[in-house]
Amino acid sequence: MQIKNLHYLKEWAELNVIAIVLGIFGALGAIIFAKMIDYSKYFFETIFQRGFFEALSIIFIPAIGGLIVGPTIYKYCKESKGHGIPEVMYAINAKGSIIRKRVAFFKTIVSAITIGSGGSAGREGPIAQIGASIGSAFGQFFKFDERKIRILVMCGLSSGLSAAFNTPLGGAIFGFELILSSFSPLSVIPIALASVISVSFSRAFLGQEAMIHAIPFAFNPAEVPFYMLLGVVMGVASYVFIKIFYVIEDSFEKAKIPFYYKPAIGGILTGLIGFSFVQYGVLGGGFEGINSALSGRIGLSLLLLLFVAKMLATSFTLGSGASGGLFSPSLYLGSMLGGAMGLIFAQIAPNTVSYPEAYALIGMGAFFASVAKVPLTCIVMIPEMTSDYSIIPAIMLSVMVSYGVSIIFLGRSSIDTIKLDRKLSTVKSFSKDLNDVRASDIMSKEIISMEPDMPLKKFWDYVKKYKKLGFPVIKDGELLGVISNHKVKNIDSKKIPFLKIMDAMSPPTYVFPYDDVPKILGIMDDRKCGRVLVLDPTSKQIYGIITKSDLLKAYRIAKNRGDDEDRFKISEEFEREVSTVSHKIYHKIKWPKIK
C-alpha cells in the first residue's frame, strides 16, 4: 500500500512540475499571440488603408487576409482551420490527445492574420489550441500514457485561456466543464496550477487592467423576472446563431471551389457587412463594441442591427475556413442583444430597471453559456473579466434559464460538439470492432524487396513494374531499412545515377502481428508514412507489409463484424480517399528520365 501511495505521489508531483512549465509557456503563447495580432493589424492598416480608397479598402482587407490564410492552412496545417476547440476535442477523443507539433506555430500565424486583417473572430479558440498542442508535445516528449497527455493538454489549454483573458479560475473551469468528464486531484490541481502561473506571468507583461469596462452593478430582486426573461431570449438567440453558423459553413464546404480560395470569399462578405460598422467592432474581436454597449452609448435599433451584422460576419469568417475563436464574437452578440433587451425592459418598467446597460453584461454570460454549454465557466469568467463580482446572482439566473432553453432545442450539443460529433460519427460506430482487427488480418504477405547495393535508378523501375511507392531493403535475410518515393523524389536527378539504394533508405517503421488497427493508424499518422512492415516479435523477420490500401480491409472486416444497423455507416468517402492515395498517386508522379 505504501509503495502504491508513493507511486501516486510521484505521478502527481511530476504532473504539477510540468504544469508550472506549461503555465509559463501558456502565458508566453498568449503574449506572443496578442502582439502578433497587433502587428498584423498595423500591417494591414498601414499598407492597404491609404489614399482616396482608404474607406473602400476596408471591404477587401479581410479578403486579402483570407488569400494568405487559405493556402497556408491547405498546404501546411489543416488542423489550424476553424475555431480551435473542436479540433482539440477531436484530438482528445479520437487521437489519444496527440496533436501535431506544427499546430501551435501555424495556428498562431493564420489566426493572427485572420483577426488582424479584420476577420470576425476571437483569440480564445486559437490560444486554447496553441496551449493544448504545447501540452501534447510535452506529453509525447516524456512518453506519457494517454491519460497523462490528456491532463497536460488541458493544462496547456486552460493556461492559454487564463492568460489571454486574465481569468485564472474561469480558464481552469472551462477545461473541466467542456472537455474533462471527471474530476480528481490528479487532474484538477495541475490544471488550476497551470492557470494561476500563466495569469501571474502574463500580468507581469500585460498588466492587470480588466478587458471589459462595465458600470457598477447592484443586484435588484425586483428585476429577477427580467433576468430570467433575458435567459429565455438568449437561449433562443443562441440556437438561431448556431443554425445560421452551420448553414453557412456547410454551404462553403459543399461549394465546388478550391479550399484555399474560400477564406478570401468569406473575407469579402465579412468586409461588406462590417464596412459601415468599423467603429463598433463588427470586424475583428469586437471588444470596442462590447465596451460601447456596456457604457450605454448605443441605441436600441443599432444594437439589434449590430447583433445581426456580427452574427453573419462571424459565420462568414469562420464558416469559410479561416482561423479564429468564437468566444469573443459570442460575448459581442450577447452584449448587443442583452443591451437591447435592457433598453426594452427599461421602457416597460422604468422605475424598476435603473441600469439597462447591466443587461449587456448579463447577456454576455447567458449567450455564451447556451452556445458552448459551459454555464459554470460563464458564471465565473464574466465577473473575473470585469473585476465586478456583485453581478454573479443576476448572471446565475440568466445562465440557468438560457442553458435550459438551449437544451430544449439542441440537447447537450453545443457549437463545438456538433462539429466534433460529425467528425467522430464513423469512428464511433466502428471503434470497438477496429480494436479487434490485427495486423495479421490485413497485411499483404507478398514482399517485394530491394537490396542495398542496387543502383538507385532501379527504384523507379520497381515502382512502375510493381505499382508500389516503397520497398523494404533486405540483405541476406536481414532488414536494413526502407526506400520510398517520398525520399527519392527529393534527390537531384543528376546525382541518382551515382547513388545506391543504401544511400537513400530510411529506418524501417514496423508493427507486430498482434497490434490492432488503431495503433497502426496512429503510427502511420505520427511517422507520416504510407506503409509499415509487420515483423516477427522474436526473430524480427518480415511477416508482411501494410499499406494504406490494406487499411480498407480493416474497415470491411469491422463492417462485417458490426451490428446490422451499423454496417451501412462505413464512409464511402474514406474508402475513395484511401484508394486514391494508395493506388492512383503514382500516375501523378513526374518520373525522372534517367539514362
Query: What is the Cα–Cα distance from 552 to 548, expressed in whole angstroms?
Result: 7
pLDDT of residue 169: 87
Render pLDDT for 511-561 as a digit per residue (tens, 0 to 9): 888 888 777 877 777 777 777 888 887 777 888 888 776 776 666 665 554
Q: Give residue 579's pLDDT band: very low, low, confident or very high (50, 70, 90).
A: very low
Domain shared by 254 and 230, yes or no: yes
Say if CB 479 and CB 508 are below 8 A apart: yes
Domain shared by 117 and 99, yes or no: yes
Domain shared by 202 and 230, yes or no: no
For residues 10-26, average pLDDT: 88
Domain shared by 491 and 574, yes or no: yes
Judged on CB neighbours under 10 Å (0-12, 13-18, 19+), 566 is middle
Cα 296 to its chain centre, rounded Å, is: 35
pLDDT of residue 577: 42
The CATH number linked to 555 is: 3.10.580.10
Render pLDDT for 457-468 as a digit per residue (tens, 0 to 9): 888 888 888 878
Q: In what order do the strands lie in the sheet with 542-547?
A: 510-511, 531-535, 542-547
Which of the listed residues 206, 234, 249 is the one where a domain comes to its end? 206
In the chain, what is the straight-line distance between the N-terminal and C-terminal CA atoms, in Å?
72
In sequence order, what are the residues at sequence separation of 6 or more whose Cβ sits closer than 8 angstroms to the Cβ of residue 268?
Answer: 59, 60, 62, 63, 66
Residue 433 has φ and ψ, to the nearest 5°, of: -70, -35
Residue 213, domain member (yes or no): no
Domain shared by 106 and 45, yes or no: yes
Which of the listed residues 392, 425, 458 is the one where a domain comes to its end? 425
Say if CB 470 and CB 484 are below 8 A apart: yes
Residue 595, domain member (yes or no): no
Domain shared by 505 and 571, yes or no: yes
Count of alpha carbons within 13 angstroms of residue 346, beta-carbon side: 16
Q: Give residue 182's pLDDT band: very low, low, confident or very high (50, 70, 90).
A: low
Kindly give the interhelix angle for 358-372 and 287-294, rounded to the nearest 10 degrees: 130
For residues 386-403, average pLDDT: 90
Say if CB 398 and CB 233 are below 8 A apart: no
Cα 532 to its chain centre, rounded Å, is: 29
C-beta neighbour count of 533 within 10 angstroms: 20
Q: To the nearest whole percent, how much of the chain has pLDDT over 70?
A: 84
Domain shared by 390 and 314, yes or no: yes
pLDDT of residue 468: 80
Mean pLDDT for the chain? 81
Say which range, 41-50, 91-100, 236-245, 565-574, has the weakest mean pLDDT: 565-574
pLDDT at 456 over 50: yes
DSSP 217: -
Domain shared by 494 and 393, yes or no: no
Say which range, 70-84, 352-366, 576-590, has the weakest mean pLDDT: 576-590
Residue 267, domain member (yes or no): no
Residue 142 has φ and ψ, to the nearest 5°, of: -85, 5
pLDDT at 253 over 80: yes
Query: What is the Cα–Cα distance from 340 to 353, expressed in whole angstroms?
Result: 13
Query: What is the Cα–Cα distance from 443 to 552, expressed in whole angstroms?
Result: 11
Q: What is residue 282's three-state secondary structure?
A: coil
Dmax of the chain from CA atoms? Answer: 94
Angle at CA 33, nearest 5°, toward 317 and 14?
120
Residue 195, domain member (yes or no): yes
Residue 537, domain member (yes or no): yes
Cell 468599423, located at residue? 278
Three cell numbers written together for 42: 498595423
Summarize the chain as % helix, strand, coil (round to 5): 70, 5, 25
Q: What is residue 414's three-state secondary structure?
A: coil
* Of 591, 517, 502, residue with least CA distance to 554: 517
For residues 292-308, average pLDDT: 93
Say which range, 66-70, 327-331, 385-389, has the weakest mean pLDDT: 385-389
Residue 74, domain member (yes or no): yes
Amino acid of residue 351? N
pTM confidence score: 0.72
The CATH number linked to 114 is: 1.10.3080.10
Domain count, the chain: 3
Domain housing 350? 221-259+276-425
Which of the listed residues 387, 405, 425 is the one where a domain comes to its end? 425
Query: What does the buried/exposed string (b/e) look like for 375-411 if buried means 16 or more CB atoms within 10 Å of the residue's CB?
Result: bbbbbbbbbbbbebeebbebbbbbbbbbbebbeeebe
Render pLDDT for 207-247 as a digit per residue (tens, 0 to 9): 766 677 777 777 888 999 999 999 999 999 999 999 999 99
Domain shared by 335 and 466, yes or no: no
Q: Give residue 430's pLDDT band: very low, low, confident or very high (50, 70, 90).
A: very low
pLDDT at 588 over 60: no
In sequence order, what are the residues at sequence separation of 6 or more whose Cβ sits closer than 8 angstroms to the Cβ of residue 415?
Answer: 241, 242, 245, 326, 371, 372
pLDDT of residue 93: 72
C-beta neighbour count of 282 within 10 angstroms: 27
Highest mean pLDDT among 54-63, 312-321, 565-574: 312-321
